Amino acid sequence: MPLETVAVIGGGAWGTALAQAAAMAGRVVRLVVRTAEQAEAINRAHVNATALPGQALLAGVVAADRLERADIVILAVPAQSTRTLLSGLEPDLLAGRPVVLSAKGLETGTLARQSEILFDMAPEAVPYVLSGPSFAADLAAGRPTAVTLAGDDASATSDLAAALAGPSFRPYAADDRIGVEIAGALKNVYALACGAVDGASLGASARAALIARGYAEMARVVTAMGGSAHTLTGLAGLGDLTLTCTSVQSRNYQFGMALGAGRSTEEIVASGAKLAEGVATAPVAAALAKSLQIDTPLIDAVDAVVAGKADIATIVAGLMSRPLKREI
Ligand SMILES: NC(=O)C1=CN([C@@H]2O[C@H](COP(=O)(O)OP(=O)(O)OC[C@H]3O[C@@H](n4cnc5c(N)ncnc54)[C@H](O)[C@@H]3O)[C@@H](O)[C@H]2O)C=CC1
Ligand SMILES: O=C(CO)COP(=O)(O)O
């Protein structure tokens, strides 16, 4: 099966960066954005001024306002928009083709992972999940970036990784789609928590403890969902948790900092905050953990703070006074 042409759907920061990476890999790329005006503006300036201002795009990135047949389809819209997006696509354009899911979040209401949404909406598509430590600005600028690409067929996943790999982009093939999807969704929840720790000036020790206990919690969720805890030792787990929980560049971390400074979710959103996927995913992850009967005090804490049900001081006091337990 040829892997020459790539359609990236989603004209935000990540879609633009993935389109640029695919062009660097030598693929023929179409970046599918919402309107003809937006496509025209991108093609005229070779810059996506709204999503990645100042980043010149390779001539190989051509924007358009609709999907046409491509060997590889990459979805790069927010996790809560994936179902709506798929409902508007011609199923024939996805059937039998690799569809790479790159959003990091769980769906409100259904608790679905991105590949479960794809299965509902386009059951004949072949799902892959791309996740790992990768800021759009880094990838688009050609700074070294490594991610996990998980798919069900080992050989096809390696072929797809090779088709997308470039001099500065290194996708590692993997087979644990569930583990990679859960890791990508949950790291945003822990990034909110780490941002809140810093916003409330609780110290670097608290933040490191949170990352380690978050990792342990994430392993419990992944295992209960049927994924492998071993996956979390890789880029989609430890890699992305480290990046997002320690970088002011992260939108989830920034949102968390504002929460930690005492602002409410509504105030932060109203002030024009960028997309922070953890905000929608926290309550979904809390509901999922509850349904699986797993103890997830950190996810529950973020859920409570995001919902305005508890302040940071109360949450910290509650976490620190939990009964002592063995670590593992
Ligand atoms: N920005 C980053 O560094 C990274 C982002 N991601 C993930 O990628 C996903 C998208 O994030 P960003 O691109 O950064 O967000 P963004 O806010 O920059 O862009 C989102 C884009 O999706 C478009 N969109 C929304 N609903 C749509 C629909 N129904 N149909 C077509 N287009 C639609 C919007 O118009 C917007 O252009 C998120 O799940 C995020 O976690 C993953 C890795 C890195
Ligand atoms: O997923 C990301 C980096 O791997 C981007 O994180 P933010 O959405 O928090 O900016």
CATH code of 196's domain: 1.10.1040.10
Same domain, 9 and 75: yes
Same domain, 75 and 155: yes
Q: Would you say residue 1 has pLDDT above 90?
A: no
Same domain, 23 and 135: yes
Q: What is the pLDDT of residue 308?
A: 98
Same domain, 118 and 205: no
275 labelled as ligand-binding? yes
Q: If you measure from the C-alpha of residue 325 to the centroid of ligand 2, how many angstroms do you get, rounded to a whole number? A: 32
Same domain, 127 and 240: no
What distance lies between CA 199 and its chain's CA centroid? 23
Domain interval for residue 225: 185-320
Q: Would you say residue 120 has pLDDT above 90?
A: yes
Same domain, 200 and 119: no
Which of 252, 253, 255, 281 best tests ligand 2's pocket when mutated (most atoms within 8 Å of CB)? 252
- What is the C-alpha separation between 307 and 328, in angstroms, rounded? 30
pLDDT digits (tens, 9 = 90+) for 135-191: 999 999 999 999 999 999 999 999 999 999 999 999 999 999 999 999 999 999 999
Q: Which residues are catalytic?
A: 187
Which of 139, 250, 268 best tests ligand 2's pocket when mutated (most atoms within 8 Å of CB)? 250
Same domain, 135 and 52: yes
Same domain, 192 and 44: no
Q: If you measure from the C-alpha of residue 227 to the centroid of ligand 1, how many angstroms do you get, rounded to a whole number? A: 25
Q: If you measure from the C-alpha of residue 92 to the centroid of ligand 2, how many angstroms do you get, rounded to a whole number? A: 31
309 labelled as ligand-binding? no
Q: What is the pLDDT of residue 328?
A: 83
Q: Is residue 325 part of a domain?
A: no
Number of domains in the chain: 2
- Positive or negative, the CA dihedral 102, 105, 109, 115 is positive
Q: For the chain, what is the mean pLDDT? A: 98
pLDDT digits (tens, 9 = 90+) for 2-44: 999 999 999 999 999 999 999 999 999 999 999 999 999 999 9
Same domain, 45 and 156: yes
SS (H, E, C) 77-143: CCHHHHHHHHHCCCHHHCCCCEEEECCCCCCCCCCCCHHHHHHHHCCCCEEEEEECCCCHHHHHHCC
| Whole-complex ipTM | 0.99
85 lines ligand 1 (CB under 6 A): yes
243 lines ligand 2 (CB under 6 A): yes
Last residue of a domain, one of 150, 175, 200: 175
Q: What is the pLDDT of residue 135?
A: 98
Same domain, 197 and 301: yes
Cβ atoms of 322 and 298 within 8 Å: the answer is: no
Last residue of a domain, one of 154, 175, 196: 175
CATH code: domain of residue 102: 3.40.50.720
- What is the C-alpha separation between 186 and 149, in angstroms, rounded? 17
Q: Is residue 139 part of a domain?
A: yes
pLDDT digits (tens, 9 = 90+) for 243-280: 999 999 999 999 999 999 999 999 999 999 999 999 99
Q: Is residue 45 part of a domain?
A: yes
Q: What is the pLDDT of residue 272?
A: 96
132 labelled as ligand-binding? yes
Same domain, 107 and 225: no
Q: What is the pLDDT of residue 53?
A: 97
